[in-house]
Structure 1
Amino acid sequence: MIADYTEAAVCHVDDLVDGQLKEVRVGDTDVLLARADGQYYALHPKCTHYQAPLAMGLLHGNRLVCPWHNACFDVRDGHRLEAPALNGLPTHEVRIEGDQVFVRLTTYKESLENPMVAPDEANATVYTIVGGGGAGAFAAEAMREAGFTGKIVMLTESQEGPYDRPNCSKDYLQGKAPDEWMPLRTDEFYKNYGIEVRTGQHVTSLDPTTKQIELASGETLTYDKALLCSGGKPNTLLGSNADMKGVYMLRSLHDSQHLREISHQGKRVVIVGSSFIGLEGAMSLRKLGCEVEVVGTEPVPFARTLGEKIGRLMQGWHEKEGIRFHLDCKVERLEGGDSVNAVVLNNGQRLPADFVLLGLGVKPNTDFLKGVTLEDDGGVKTDEYLKLADDLYAAGDIAHYPAADGFQRIEHWKVAGLQGYNAGINMAGQEEPYQAVPFFWTNQQGKRINYVGHADHFEDIIYDGNPETDEAFLALYVQDNVIKAAAGLKRDQDIIAIRELMREGRMPSVDAVRQGINWVDVLKKA
């Protein structure tokens, strides 16, 4: 509730410089004060995604970037510019009197939807979205934001509409996030904007030549334009009995719910795969009281992505919590009759198990496509507008899209949301090339590591700070004498600055970085 005292002087006109953020108090209400291009703006101070304090983020031009997960807002009007936030920030009235800056509270809400058009029943055009994950959710809203008034149909195999999938391995699995936190939008929201979300729909065929979609139910749908964002299918354990009970994946809300239900005190779980999801699952199951063993083929977890120093650091975080690792080895077989009771490794070790969780990554879910050339990994190749055929677009885990140094396919939540949004506005008639810089985050034992850019391999790593101290550091990944990516712990503003520099094509040389630089200062020297 906003206090009766709704206006206050918050600073002098010269107290802040362009690009500076400050949290101030107006009555009983916290407000984010920002200055950009000589103008003052006042906004809600918390990110609409996970309520991160935006004063700890970074303002670059009109782009206000969240410190935790790099959601982005337009500081001038509060509109959401980038995933993972769906809603924008409410703004407050600012006025200058003499040398004082005054803020008047003008809203009670903590978040606002971006402006969207209402559906028009007279418009018979049908846009169909195959997939109900982050890409599909952002695409549907982007179509309405860009002015499309026809029919939008979203087909998802899930029994739920779009939900916060990254939370399935973290707080939700631990029982710390209630069910009502998980949906991205309410049923009423989708109804109000004419977005028909059809759950429990298995697509068996999509033919771009006929523009027809066949469902497992036998129903056939016709579209005018379609977006493929069908996500990934979990990789299975080769040679294992797929029907054996007690072998689980962690890919969906249902998976997370079931694992939480069975993970009471004393359960022994073996996690096969030392991936990000695998170790987030290990963290959460351990917090539920399980005895957790992790089997990984790499000598050090995440070594190929983050380097051995950071990999050992992260492994140590888990070991301190009682998680045991079996690395540089493979699963020979699963033992048990109808239900698994042990995992046997290729070194002869036998790990007793009440259940097994597979974290072996995913492959693109594209088996239903007809007449579409697939890449070797099962993905599809798009152009710069995320288009792969006439009136057919792709986004998220399945999309190989053109980047500066070749095609990339990225399997991360923020990327899926950005691509879905981009595809959605392009389907609605805009022509906006997809040029976003990849970003992901992982939460390992309560410590968040942010990663920006993309390096499929690296020849060297430049460290700013020491990962072995577990305090704060940056790791910069060098490929072909160019910094292609960076990872950081407790260096949120630096990660944002690096991403903005990458977005603008202004990354410093490797030699300059080796000598030591202030990333925020470099960004501000436009």
Structure 2
Amino acid sequence: MIADYTEAPVCHIDDLIDGELKEVRVGDTDILLVRADGQYYALHPKCSHYQGPLVKGLLNGHRLVCPWHNACFDVRDGHRLEAPALNGLPTHEVRIEGDQVFVRLTTDKESLENPMSAPDEANPETYVIVGSGGAGAFAAEGMREGGFTGKIVMLTESSEGPYDRPNCSKDYLQGKAPDEWMALRTDEFYKDYGIEVRTGQHATALDPVMKRIELASGETITYDKALLCSGGKPNMLPGVASDLNGVYALRSLHDSHTLRKLGQQGKRVVIIGSSFIGLEGAMSLRKLGSEVDVVGLENTPFEKILGEKIGHVVQGWHEKEGIRFHLGRQVDHLEGDDTVSAVILDNGERLSADFVLLGLGVKPRTDFLKGIALEKDGGVKTDAYLNVADDLYAAGDIAHYPTSSGLQRIEHWKVAGQQGHIAGLNMAGKETPYLLVPFFWSNQQGKRINYIGHATKVDDIIYEGDPEKDDAFLALYVQDGQIKAAAGLKRDQDIIAIRELMQEGRMPSVETVRQGVQWGKVLKID
């Protein structure tokens, strides 16, 4: 009898210890072999987000974390545990015979959806999501994962459904990512799971007492529960009034598409703002052939977040590619008739410009909320379950959520996605607190910097490796006698280990870290 499956021995039973990862091959298929709690598991070896090599990630218990963007999976069933991955990992059958570990291929898929409930027309409840960014997309799926079977309506001002916003300043802006890569899910997916995505919808008022949302079209929608994830509105140039054409923000897919067309014409662009979006935009537009000048208030890019030393290094990467910096400077005014032609700095310097890109951050988009107290920056305060008021939740860029260090509001894609997912679960009745340590990544001239934690001020920085000399380094940020954040280049496993330690409340003391730490070993100590 000929077997209709492919199976092969992949290792000796004692070849791996708990926590080890190894890529093996069964037939023509690469497999990730994992050992956890004395058991072997076999999974698809690439992250379902951007196909990151999971063998270079880290295993903490049953949590498998991707090295690139810290998506997280359960090795026992392959389910996705954390954003930014939407899908889980296919698994394969493992058996032990004698002292050999065998893997049998059971699927040829590269990813799988987490289990979700089907919509039920008999359920009269309606849940409304205001916003279609990462928080909204993950929330809709979280509701179905949590067992909600009623109607889900997603309202978005955009002309598109949920898409991969981080790519708007990177590969998509550079013309390397086609339009079809950008959607997070297909139209058929949302139809199958009863998620009504309504584009071009501007919410003008939300009344939490009446549970009513008014739209610019004049339509009124009532809800049983609602999620606020309306995101951020790009900041304009402070103190400089201008109605000139040719001044852009980079927040949406439409913005990115417009800027890409301009960049491909080799035009002169002045970017105002020297933080992450500003410099990712500078990188991408320069790759398209534009002449790029960057204006920043700080004397060094990222000085307040990453520190002066790393900021200088990153600036050098961009300068090698022909990007010019004008730092410690403010914009005095813009010149032009109908369209901007130059940016005049506070020292009188004139920078010619065919267009201007503002990279000045965002403020919470919450002006449509009625009867809800706002924080000083316009955000909304939630409890640990992301609840704002009765049957009203918030996630993403607008949410101030409680932590051991007080309220935090974080503008990161992974945070938004995971908050949305947990808010969706909670709306479905799961009562899950949001406890995750923030994570974000940035691509600076092809070098990925990963950052975890949150420091409002930096008292000291502990370096492992020298950013000015080494190709790989780790920076640990000290605030009030504790390590509150870390940034790394080519130190992916260490970044994961530190984040897991932070989440478990097991970070070593500053004194211990100064003496030298092997982060993976510290993580494995119970």
2:322 alignment partner in structure 1? 322
Q: Deviation of residue 264 (structure 1)?
A: 2.3
Aligned counterpart, 1:423: 423
Matched residues in 2 for 1:39 and 1:404: separation?
A: 35
Post-superposition offset of 1:5: 6.8
Residues 242 and 334 in structure 2, CA contact (< 8 A), matched pair in contact too: no
Verify: 1:216 aligned to 2:222, yes or no.
no
1:240 Cα shift?
Answer: 3.7
Q: What residue is the counterpart of 1:140 in the other structure?
A: 140
What's the % identity of the aligned pairs? 79
SS in 1 for 2:484: strand
Q: Does 1:505 align with 2:509?
A: no
1:4 to partner: Cα distance = 7.8
AA matched with 2:483: I
Q: Is the 8 A contact 1:4 1:27 kept in 2?
A: no
Q: Tell me, what secondary structure is at the counterpart of 1:266? A: coil
The answer to whether the Cα contact below 8 Å between 1:249 and 1:357 also exists between their aligned partners in 2 is: yes
Distance 1:435 1:86 in 2: 19
Query: By how many angstroms is 1:26 displaced?
Result: 0.6
Q: Report the 3-state secondary structure (helix = DSSP H, G, I; strand = E; otherwise coil) of the residue aligned with 1:168.
A: helix
Deviations for 1:153-198, whole angstroms, at most 9, x for unmatched residues?
Answer: 0000000000000000000000001111100000000000000000
Q: 1:343-365 CA deviation, whole Å, 9 max, x = no partner?
A: 00001000000100000000000
* C-alpha distance in 1 between matches for 2:315 and 2:84: 27
Q: Which residue of 1 aligns with 2:62?
A: 62
What is the DSSP-based 3-state SS (H/G/I as helix, E as strand, rest coil) of the residue aligned with 2:468? helix
Tell me, in whole angstroms, the C-alpha distance in 2 between the residues paired with 1:94 and 1:188. 34
> 1:242: how far off?
4.3
Give the secondary-structure state (helix, strand or coil) at the position aligned to 1:135: helix
Structure 1 residue aligned with 2:362: 362
> Which residue does 2:312 correspond to in 1?
312
User: 1:114-125 alignment to 2 at 5 Å?
Assistant: 114-125=114-125
Q: With structure 2 as the length reference, what TM-score do the two structures score?
A: 0.99
Paired position in structure 2 for 1:48: 48
State the alpha-carbon separation in 2 of the partners of residues 234 and 80 from structure 1. 31
Evaluate the alpha carbon distance shift between residue 324 and residue 4 of structure 1 in structure 2; reply closer, same or farther with a 3 A threshold. Answer: farther
The answer to whether the 8 A contact 1:17-1:35 is kept is: yes
Amino acid at match of 1:75: V
Could you tell me which residue of structure 1 aligns to residue 345 of structure 2? Answer: 345
Q: Provide the aligned C-alpha RMSD in A.
A: 1.0
CA distance in 1, matches of 2:113, 2:422: 17
Q: How many residues align?
A: 524
How far the C-alpha of 1:25 sits from its partner, in A, is: 0.6
Deviations 1:79-101 (CA, angstroms, capped at 9, x unpaired)? 00000000000001111100000
Is the 2:335–2:343 contact (alpha carbons within 8 Å) kept by the matching residues of 1? yes
8 Å CA contact 1:335, 1:343 repeated in 2:
yes
- Provide the rounded CA distance (Å) in 2 between the counterparts of 1:13 and 1:244: 69
Conserved? CA contact 2:213–2:222, under 8 Å: yes
- Following superposition, the deviation at residue 244 of structure 1 comes to 1.1
CA contact (8 A) 1:283 1:444 kept: yes
Instruction: Report matched runs for 1:425-444 at 5 Å.
Output: 425-444=425-444
**Distance (whole Å) between structure 2 residues aligned to residue 225 and residue 126 of structure 1:** 7
Q: Relative to structure 2, which stretch is displaced further, 369-378 or 258-267?
A: 258-267
**CA distance in structure 2 between the aligned counterparts of 1:468 and 1:418, rounded to whole angstroms:** 34
Alignment of 1:63-102 (within 5 A): 63-102=63-102
Offset of 1:6 from its aligned partner? 1.3
Tell me, which stretches of 5 or more residues in structure 1 are unaligned?
Answer: none
1:294-334 per-residue CA deviation (whole Å, 9 max, x = no partner) reads: 00000001010010001001000000000000000000000
How many Å apart are 1:469 and its aligned residue? 1.3
- How do 1:100-111 residues align onto structure 2 when only pairs under 5 Å count? 100-111=100-111
CA distance in 2, matches of 1:266, 1:505: 50
Give the aligned residue type for 1:152: I
CA-CA distance at 1:405 after TM superposition: 1.1
Q: Given that residues 5 and 27 in structure 1 are in contact (C-alpha distance below 8 angstroms), is that contact kept between their aligned partners in structure 2?
A: no
Moved more, 35-44 or 261-270: 261-270
Q: Is the 8 A contact 2:240 2:332 kept in 1?
A: no
* Corresponding letter in the other structure for 1:249: A
- Structure 2 residue 484 is the aligned partner of structure 1 residue 484: yes
Structure 1: which 4+ aligned runs deviate by more than 3 Å? 239-242
Structural mapping, 1:11-26, within 5 Å? 11-26=11-26
- Please tell me the residue identity of whatever aligns with 1:267: K
Secondary structure at the counterpart of residue 493 of structure 1: helix
Aligned to 2:447: 447
Which secondary structure state, in structure 2, belongs to the residue aligned with residue 258 of structure 1? helix
Look up the match of 1:37: 37
State whether residues 272 and 356 of structure 1, in contact with CA within 8 Å, keep that contact through their aligned partners in structure 2: yes
Listed one character per residue, the Cα deviations across residues 394-433 of structure 1 (whole Å, up to 9, x for unaligned) are 0000000000010000000000011001111001001111
* Equivalent position SS for 1:348: coil
**CA-to-partner distance for each residue in 1:425-484, whole Å, 9 max, x for gaps?**
001001111111100000000000000111011100000100101411110000111000
The equivalent of 2:520 in structure 1 is 520
* Matched ranges for 1:382-401 at <5 A: 382-401=382-401
CA distances 1:357-387 after superposition (whole Å, capped 9, x unpaired): 0000000000000000001000000111100
Aligned CA distance change for structure 1 residues 375 and 336 (closer, same or farther; 3 Å) = same
TM-score by length of 1: 0.99
Structure 2 stretches lacking a partner, 5+ long: none
- The corresponding residue for 2:255 is 255
Distance in 2, matches of 1:511 and 1:498, equals: 16
Paired amino acid for 1:33 = L
1:71, distance to aligned residue in structure 2 (A)? 0.1
Aligned to 1:129: 129
